Copies of this chain bind each other. A is one copy, B any other.
Amino acid sequence: MINFKITKKSKKSNARIGVLSTPHGSIETPSYVNVATQAVVKTFTSEDIKDSGGQILIANTYHLHIRPGEDAIKKHGGIHQFMNWNGPIMTDSGGFQVFSLGFGKDYGTGKILKQKSSEKIVSGSQPKAVKITEQGVEFRSYIDGKKLFLGPAESIKIQEKIGADIIFAFDECTSPLADHEYNARALERTQRWLQTCIKVKKSDQALYGIVQGGKFKDLRIASARYTTAQAVDGFGIGGEFGDSTTTMKSMLHTVLKELPEQKPRHLLGIGHVKDVETVIKEGVDTFDCITPTHYARHGYAFVIYKSKWTKLNLNNKKYLLSKEPIDKNCDCFTCKNYTRGYIHHLLRAYEITPLRLLSIHNVYAFNKYVENLRGAIKKGAL
């Protein structure tokens, strides 16, 4: 079980400071949730997560079900013991992955659609690579092509074996191409699936229901109200809100207004570091984001320059002779010990070390940034 206590509310925005307590310790919110999809933050040990200011992780039901399998994790004593991380952990339900894989195959798109003008919006289309039924989703393993099935009951049973502190209900994450009619039907199914999740769950893990509804305001409001009325411990906000920060902000505003203040809200997978302040101001308590580690593995370092996030591409030859750290104001292990020039050299030499060095910096900088935003809320400045 979890406990959530709001310790301060901003007068300037909907931002709030809270303490989220779990069987594996408490975290202060708003907080970045470090992404550990396959029970590891990419390039990190669990000690690295702590050293980079990480408070809480999110792992993935879909990926862990496929490999190594929930039974293996259970035999290791659960995910905390398996990965030697004694802090709080969430698991996403796998819904998003099942669908995004389907859409990705059909349209070459992820959660956020980069729609080409030549493409038609396909009304009501389901992804072709997966088959959705009332019971759940049939799909194929990306490892061996084996037919697999994931539905609300399966997802909960898997998440119980994995053993995170907070688990998510299984939802249908609709395609950015799907129209109102399709989204309405999908939402009803997601609501029935939430009932199944609640019924099936035997553990005392906290369950978050997921608000869906795509980019349609009426569906988002209906979803928020429906989920609020169920026995859930918190809320996930999933799916696509539109393609700009403005539409995202407006949709978040609409959704969060409908949710009970005293329960925690998690925004599933934000795409851009620049959106963090916006979502916190709207009242989001936790959010995950692969950007810091993903960009690190491609040679990019995040730095705040003139109060804005900017990316340094350390693959660029201009850094070769630089004796500066990535960010001279940063206290991370990487900035305290290594120069831009050395990291540039290691990247060009195809070494493994710089991927971790950059991940450490980016995750540290990101956690620090959120910590500073918490400080601003406490001071009444956000």
Contacts and interface: CB of A to CB of B under 8 A. Distances in A.
A348 B84 CA distance: 18
A70 to B, nearest CB: 12
A352 B356 contact: yes
Given A349-B38, A353-B42, A342 B67 contact: no
A323 B40 contact: no
B72 A341 contact: yes
A119 interface: no
A75 interface: yes
B355 A68 contact: no
Contacts of A339: 76, 82
Interface in A161-175: none
Interface string A84-118: 10000000000000000000000000000000000
A39 interface: yes
Given A68-B320, A72-B320, A323-B76, A43 B352 contact: yes
A342 B82 contact: yes
A353 B40 contact: yes
Interface string A339-355: 10110111011011101
A156 interface: no
Interface stretch (A44-52, A213-221, A253-261): A44-52
A349 B42 CA distance: 11
Nearest to A72: B320
Contact of A39 (B76, B84, B337, B345): B345
Contacts of A357: 45
Interface in A322-365: 323, 333, 337-339, 341-342, 344-346, 348-349, 351-353, 355-357
Contacts of A75: 321
A273 interface: no
A2 interface: no
A83 interface: yes
Contacts of A47: 337
Interface residues on A, range: 35 or more
Nearest to A338: B84
* Copies of this protein, total: 2
A183 to B, nearest CB: 33
A68 B354 CA distance: 15
Nearest to A69: B320
A307 to B, nearest CB: 31
A70 B15 CA distance: 53
B323 A43 contact: no
A173 to B, nearest CB: 23
Contacts of A346: 38, 40
A359 B43 CA distance: 13
A44 to B, nearest CB: 6
Contacts of A323: 76-77
Given A47-B337, A68-B345, A40 B351 contact: yes
A321 B72 contact: yes
Contacts of A297: 352
B349 A67 contact: yes
Contacts of A349: 38, 40, 63, 67-68
A138 B83 CA distance: 51
Contact of A45 (B40, B44, B353): B353
Interface of A: 38-40, 42-47, 63, 67-68, 72, 75-77, 82-84, 297, 320-321, 323, 333, 337-339, 341-342, 344-346, 348-349, 351-353, 355-357
